[in-house]
Amino acid sequence: MRNLLNLRLEARPRVPLAMALASPFVAVAFTLLVCAGLVVWAGAPVTRAYALLFESAFGSRFAIGETLTRATPLILTGLSCAVAFRAHFYNIGAEGQLYLGALGAVAVGGSAIALPAPILFPLMIAAGMAAGALLLVVPALAKTRLGVDEVVTTLLLNFVALLFVSMMLDGPMKDTTAMGWPQSVPIRPELEFGKLLERSRVHVGLIIAVALALALWVVNARTTLGYEMRAVGANARAARFAGIPVDTVMLKTALLSGALAGLAGVGEVAGRAGYLTLDMSPGYGYSGIVIAMLAGLNPLGVVLAAVFVAGLIVGADSMSRAVGVPTYLADVIVAVSLLSMLFAAMLARYRVRWS
Amino acid sequence: MTEMLDIVASVPFWIAVLRIATPLIFGTLGVLLCERAGVLNLGIEGIMVAGAFAGWLAVYQGAGLWTGVLVAAAVGALFGLLHGALTVVLALSQHVTGLGITLFATSLSYYAYRVSFPKITSPPTVNPFGGTHLFDGVPAIGPVLSAQTPLTLLALAIVPLLAYVLYRTPVGLAVRMVGENPAAAEGQGLSVSGVRIGAIVAGSALMGVGGAFLTLSAFNAFYFNMINGRGWICVALVVFASWRPGKALLGAILFAAFDALQLRLQQSAGATLPYQVYLMIPYLLSILALALVARKAAYPRALMKPYRKGER
């Protein structure tokens, strides 16, 4: 035991590209192996369960459509977390920001404001993004001004945001025609996102999400803001000495992160449902954290990781109905992938030596 | 106003306060122990879910109530061991690992629940702990304490015990030392990794018991979302308590008193606000408390800093 604990981690002078690229796949393979035990426990044949999972996620036009529809909010929450984590601002509140974003979209898009749709449409999107960003103002200021850890504040605000949405759906934004079901008024039909594929639910939000991933990649690699965010994340003290306004960068990062999560909520309302309910997100905000980590905080990697997680959610649903494995298997796979990904990424960066 | 005073002066109110505070006391002490050793354990939310589920399942399958509590502690300890292996031995990010453990423990518990009970409509129940009636006849606090279950009394007893261990024993000194100055601890011949992992395992066991209180004392069944942010509140309470067991107890009771008060105000005839406003109060209070104490918070100096031998 004592020897086992006495290991040393030596940073590799250069991370071999092959190792960096292979680590997510090794992590996922390891995860599927571990989770096979759970499938056996549920009394289902492993290969058939996994085959069904893959088929119902990617095996047909319909399946791909469903996966991409699910991936749309996940790309945005993944980007939200990736941007924030890169600057070491641990925004764990994407779930609440998503709901406030959706609420903002409904507040504008479902209101009686007599403006033509082309003007109202950008207003609706801006309202959702602003609402998401607004939720992060307090945690960001509390962190930079008072040194309050943002993890706990953003986590707690998720509960506050959901209760606030619930209050609005009981009160001013309630759809009185919905038979007492807590559901918001619908947004105006002409404000809904267009469909990308016939006979599927894939909507324009997907294009927006992927475009934003590209844009963030450029911001990250090629702009001053990206450089500053990376510097603050790498070493805030050194960044301050170098004359980077750390607090301002932190606040900007937080607002950007919140706006991205808010946009995910706008997309769910305007692209998919048309209105807001309290069960709109099956934890997209929390999955965003995993997606960002799986992607190594790389905006382009986020797109791939989001499609992977979306495929798991969609696939587990049909697989569960066919062979009776609880859908929670998807959540376990996501959680174990996160932990094994952390482990694999560490092995790629460091050499382990026992002394 | 008189209505509020009537509530606060009543015995049932304080019985409820101690009941609400119990899982928070276990959880807060668990987090406190981990953080005193220098490790942030955000796995708490999931570990409480796993403890609630595993303890309840053991009792449901015929084990005694105390065996159920032990099972919950053991399951908590196991997740703690995983957390320790990843954050202490491998020095992975404590934030992300903790969240990963929470997701893992929660989803695994829900999965196991569904595998064990595939086709149920109402949650199966067990016969939970009852009041101890040990303090019948004691004036003033007698009725309040007598109504409590043994787990609440255990939580109250662990507070001075943990304080004693932390401040008066070599083990406690070792824990505080690896959380403040691991290099000095190493110089004294202590194994920093060993002490840290020990603290995480013990702290996580407490979190597991905190979860089990909900399924074996406060309620008699396991529900999805039953932890509902209690773990995160414990993380906030530890900062509020400046990492001291006594203040942690005070914080948990204060928090529980506000929670019990909002429940009663919500149900009282004069309630004019939507019920969601009352439910928001505990979360907002936690954030406010964090902001208020932040300036003078004396974080353990090595908190969230992985220790690597020979590195400065």
Would you list the DSSP string of B253-283?
HHHHHHHHHHHHHHHSTT--S-HHHHHHHHH
Within a domain: A19: no
Residues of A in contact with B107 (CB under 8 A): 328, 331-332, 334-335
With an 8 Å Cβ cutoff, are A170 and B108 in contact? no
- Tell me which DSSP letter residue A202 carries: -
Selecting from B42, B194, B287 the residue whose C-beta is nearest the C-beta of A5 gives: B194
Is the CB of residue B219 less than 8 Å from the CB of residue B129? no
Whole-number pLDDT of residue A3: 59
With an 8 Å Cβ cutoff, are B92 and A42 in contact? no
Work out the percent of chain A whose per-residue pLDDT is above 90. 67
With an 8 Å Cβ cutoff, are A326 and B110 in contact? yes
Alpha carbon distance B311, A174 (integer Å) = 59
Interval B31-85: pLDDT, tens = 999 999 999 999 999 999 999 999 999 999 999 999 999 999 999 999 999 999 9
Cβ neighbours, 10 Å, residue A11: 9
pLDDT greater at residue A355 or residue A329? A329
With an 8 Å Cβ cutoff, are B276 and A167 in contact? yes
Mutation target for B interface from A156, A309, A351: give the one with most B CBs within 10 A.
A156
Selecting from A4, A147, A152 the residue whose C-beta is nearest the C-beta of B232 gives: A152
With an 8 Å Cβ cutoff, are A346 and B90 in contact? yes
Instruction: Tell me the mean pLDDT in the region B87-103.
Output: 93
Amino acid letter, B249? L
Alpha carbon distance B71, B126 (integer Å) = 15
* pLDDT(A225) > 70: yes
Cβ neighbours, 10 Å, residue A80: 32
* Size of the A and B interface in Cβ pairs below 8 Å: 143
Task: Report residue B155's pLDDT band, with 50, 70 and 90 as the boundaries.
Answer: very high
Residues in chain A: 355
Interval A66-84: pLDDT, tens = 999 999 999 999 999 999 9
Whole-number pLDDT of residue A6: 67
Residues of B in contact with A326 (CB under 8 A): 110-111, 114-115, 118
- Both tokens of residue B34? 């981990």
DSSP lists the bridge partners of residue A354 as A7
* pLDDT(B127) > 80: yes
Selecting from B103, B229, B309 the residue whose C-beta is nearest the C-beta of A338 gives: B103
Is the CB of residue A83 less than 8 Å from the CB of residue A244? no
The kind and range of the H/E element at A351 are strand A350-354
Alpha carbon distance A261, A94 (integer Å) = 5
Task: Report residue A20's pLDDT band, with 50, 70 and 90 as the boundaries.
Answer: confident
Within a domain: A3: no
- Both tokens of residue B196? 């840290």
Selecting from B91, B232, B276 the residue whose C-beta is nearest the C-beta of A163 gives: B276
* pLDDT(A131) > 80: yes
Residues of B in contact with A4 (CB under 8 A): 89
Amino acid letter, B22? T
Residues of B in contact with A342 (CB under 8 A): 86, 92-93, 96-97, 100
CATH number at residue A274: 1.10.3470
Domains detected in chain B: 2-119+147-294 (1.10.3470)
CA distance, residue B197 to nearest chain A CA (Å): 10
- Range with lowest mean pLDDT among A224-233, B72-81, B214-223: A224-233
Whole-number pLDDT of residue A347: 86
CA distance, residue A343 to nearest chain B CA (Å): 8
Domain count across chain A: 1
Task: Report residue A307's pLDDT band, with 50, 70 and 90 as the boundaries.
Answer: very high
What value of ipTM does the predicted structure carry? 0.91
Give the dihedral of Cα atoms B220, B226, B232, B236; nearest 10 deg: -50
Within a domain: A198: yes
* pLDDT(B305) > 90: no
Is the CB of residue A307 less than 8 Å from the CB of residue A206? no
Selecting from A8, A155, A339 the residue whose C-beta is nearest the C-beta of B104 gives: A339
Instruction: Tell me the mean pLDDT in the region B289-306.
Output: 85
**Cα–Cα separations (whole angstroms), residue A339 to A28, A68, A94:** 10, 25, 20
Quickly list DSSP for chain B.
Answer: -HHHHHHHTSHHHHHHHHHHHHHHHHHHHHHHHHHHTT---TTHHHHHHHHHHHHHHHHHTT--HHHHHHHHHHHHHHHHHHHHIIIIIS---HHHHHHHHHHHHHHHHHHHHHHHSTT-SS-----------TTTT-STTHHHHHTS-HHHHHHHHHHHHHHHHHHHSHHHHHHHHHHH-HHHHHHTT--HHHHHHHHHHHHHHHHHHHHHHIIIII-SS--TT-STTHHHHHHHHHHHTTT-HHHHHHHHHHHHHHHHHHHHHHHSTT--S-HHHHHHHHHHHHHHHHHHHHTT----TTTT----TT--
Within a domain: A12: no
- Both tokens of residue A1? 């035991």
Sign of CA pseudo-dihedral B245, A90, B182, A242: negative
CA distance, residue B220 to nearest chain A CA (Å): 23
Within a domain: A81: yes
CA distance, residue A244 to nearest chain B CA (Å): 24
Whole-number pLDDT of residue B293: 86
Give A128: exposed, middle or buried? Use CB within 10 Å, 0-12, 13-18, 19+: buried
Is the CB of residue B300 less than 8 Å from the CB of residue B38? yes
Residues of A in contact with B295 (CB under 8 A): 146-147
Give the dihedral of Cα atoms A170, A172, A174, A175; nearest 10 deg: 160
Selecting from A155, A167, A338 the residue whose C-beta is nearest the C-beta of B277 gives: A167
* Average pLDDT over chain B, rounded to an integer: 92
Residues of B in contact with A103 (CB under 8 A): none
With an 8 Å Cβ cutoff, are B274 and A329 in contact? no
With an 8 Å Cβ cutoff, are A342 and B100 in contact? yes
Whole-number pLDDT of residue A2: 53
* Average pLDDT over chain A, rounded to an integer: 91
Domain hosting A42: range is 28-350
CA distance, residue B61 to nearest chain A CA (Å): 18
Selecting from A90, A155, A290 the residue whose C-beta is nearest the C-beta of B232 gives: A155
Residues of A in contact with B104 (CB under 8 A): 332, 335-336, 338-339
Q: Where are the alpha helices (DSSP H) in A114-182?
A: 117-134, 137-141, 150-170
* pLDDT(A251) > 80: yes
Residues of A in contact with B276 (CB under 8 A): 163-164, 166-167, 170
- Range with lowest mean pLDDT among A310-319, B75-84, B297-306: B297-306
Selecting from B89, B274, B286 the residue whose C-beta is nearest the C-beta of A156 gives: B286
Whole-number pLDDT of residue B165: 97
Cα A204-A209-A215 angle, rounded to 5 deg: 125
Interval B174-201: pLDDT, tens = 999 999 999 999 999 999 999 999 999 9
Task: Report residue B306's pLDDT band, with 50, 70 and 90 as the boundaries.
Answer: confident
CA distance, residue A152 to nearest chain B CA (Å): 6
Whole-number pLDDT of residue A87: 92
- Both tokens of residue B216? 């074996």
With an 8 Å Cβ cutoff, are A339 and B291 in contact? no
Whole-number pLDDT of residue B310: 62
With an 8 Å Cβ cutoff, are A160 and B284 in contact? yes
Within a domain: A170: yes
With an 8 Å Cβ cutoff, are B96 and A38 in contact? no
With an 8 Å Cβ cutoff, are A142 and B294 in contact? yes
With an 8 Å Cβ cutoff, are B111 and A326 in contact? yes
Task: Report residue A273's pLDDT band, with 50, 70 and 90 as the boundaries.
Answer: confident
Selecting from A155, A326, A343 the residue whose C-beta is nearest the C-beta of B114 gives: A326
Task: Pick the most confident of A13-22, B124-133, B202-211.
Answer: B202-211
Nearest CA in chain B to A155: B232
